[in-house]
Chain A
Amino acid sequence: MAITHDEVRRVAALARLRLAPEAVARLAADLSHILDAFTRLQAVDTAGIPPTAHAEELALSLRPDEVTNPPADEALLAGAPDRRGRCFRVPRIIE
């Protein structure tokens, strides 16, 4: 199960991770090693077995659609890396 450097770069782009060249090589080796060990899973007979997404079958919990939390915009904006007024400021997206 060899993961190529190109595959690592493809996945890193999907995950929005910038990797140094040595990190690409290390992750290719690590992921290959880990998935090699996990290949045994493919031998398990799972025909007709439904997937489990959650351990407990919890019913959807519903509540009235009412605002219950007080406005906290200043408290939340206080942690902003950059802001302008009541907005989070980011690099220009639309020219």
Chain B
Amino acid sequence: MTALNELSLRETVARVRRREVSATEVTRAALARIAAVEPALGAFLTVCEPQALAAAAAVDRALAAGEDPGPLAGAAVALKDNICTAGIRTTAGSRMLERFVPAYDATVAARLRAAGAVLVGKCNLDEFAMGSSTENSALGVTRNPWDPERVPGGSSGGSAAAVAACECHAALGTDTGGSIRLPAGFCGVVGLKPTYGRVSRFGVIAYASSLDQVGPIARDVADAALVLAAIAGPDPRDATSAPHPLPPLDGLDGPVRGLRLGLPREYFVEGMQPAVETAVRAAVRVLEGLGAVVEPVSLPHTEHAVATYYLVATAEASSNLARYDGVRYGLRVPAASLGEMYEATRAAGFGAEVTRRIMLGTYVLSKGYYDAWYLKAQQVRTLIRRDFEAAFARCDALVTPVAPTTAFRRGERLADPLTMYLSDIFTISVNLAGLPALVLPCGVDEAGLPIGLQIVGRPFDEPTVLRTAAAYEGATDWHARRPPG
């Protein structure tokens, strides 16, 4: 019999709702799994045992009283630790917020609670979501469940590792340049970055506001869709949340016959790991076998995406992180004057990568450099968007690898920041264009490490992305593989 923590989210919810198992039993199973694997894995920064058991008891009471406990009743979920939770510390993986306890819930946290989900903990991340390996966390090391010497990807590495290791049924991550999709790919799970504006960012600690988006990480496509449905939709407290309601996601098992899929030639590059290209091309053939029509497309400005992203994102970060000054919350290093207090606090609170990005962003926004760097990047961003518009005039979705390689070794890309930035080469264009994209497992390399397939859709067309992914998943069994232990 499958253990409760290993069941799919929807099967868990169905059993809880039928009262075959209590939410409390499900929660205890998740907490036991966390206790067993965390010493070696390190996916969590905070485990909320008492709060989780109280939330589970509330679900059980609601069911006993004949009330509807919600569409995620009893599911064990985790949040990336840049998503605010009332009364539970929220660190962003930074010394700056190591002891910060929010006074309110992020909208996505409140919506998960309202749907009956049980929050079991807060997951590790690169400091302020800046990184591609979770190695930039100031507060802990997260390992890849498939190989402890490899990174889980980043920045939502804790969320992806926790889901892959069955410590929870699903988790939320945030994705500014690939931070949901890269760790989902490296850990062999499903990760969805929704369209910019689809999900509220209220209460999510900001990194780059024109790019940040919250989304689900789960063990299969249908579970990811269920979590998306619970968190999506307009929010009066986030002026950038779009008014469009999420269309019903009940047609996910529909056919993909006749669907036009584009294969961007710029995403099959010199130097990529051969096993990745082989697996992704095989996945494309599976989709063709299901009746999809595949054609080559070109996104000619792809080669400029990394530069464009790291100029736009760091500029926005330098502004967003100006708020950490030691005055109202978070770390304060006392000093004789206000100016010295700011500088001492920020020097002590920010790690090396965050400092580097604030410096780069401040530089490109500063007098004399703004037009040459920041404005130029914003113009190239327009060209990158137009590339996608042209491709989507002919195609319903695009299919690509999530990254040129599988999970890399810990420490391997720390010496040169640029090498780390290039890990995001296949994910960042999607953020610059604001598009929805999903990653799901489509194979393994010679070392047994998962390979991720990325499916990119038109703005607000998550249904087509999910349907394509569900069709692939239904024809293969890569999603059913679990890491050892």
* Residue positions of A touching B, CB distance < 8 A: 3, 7-8, 10-12, 14-19, 23, 27, 30-31, 33-35, 37-38, 40-42, 44, 46, 49-56, 58, 60-61, 63, 68, 72, 75-76, 78-82, 88, 90-91, 93
Contacts and interface: CB of A to CB of B under 8 A. Distances in A.
B359 A8 contact: yes
Nearest to B355: A17
A31 B329 contact: no
A79 B356 contact: no
A91 to B, nearest CB: 5
Given A17-B347, A81-B326, A81-B330, A44 B380 contact: yes
Interface in B141-175: none
Contacts of B341: 90-91
Instruction: Give the contact-size bracket for chain B.
Output: 35 or more
A15 B379 contact: no
Contacts of A82: 332, 334
Q: Which of A3, A72, A88, A90 has the most CB of B within 10 A?
A: A90
A88 B342 CA distance: 15
A60 B301 CA distance: 30
Contacts of B311: 38, 41
A87 B311 CA distance: 37
B363 A31 contact: yes
A43 B157 CA distance: 35
A28 to B, nearest CB: 10
B243 A61 contact: yes
The 3 closest A-B pairs by CB, nearest first: A55-B434, A51-B378, A81-B332
A14 B366 contact: yes
Contact of A38 (B310, B330, B335, B378): B310
A51 to B, nearest CB: 3
Interface stretch (B43-51, B234-242, B406-414): B234-242
Nearest to B430: A55
B344 A41 contact: no
A33 B307 CA distance: 12
B417 A30 contact: yes
Interface string B343-376: 1101100100001101110110010000011011
B206 to A, nearest CB: 14
A63 B241 CA distance: 14
Interface in B288-344: 301, 303-304, 307-308, 310-311, 318, 322, 325-332, 334-344
B316 to A, nearest CB: 10
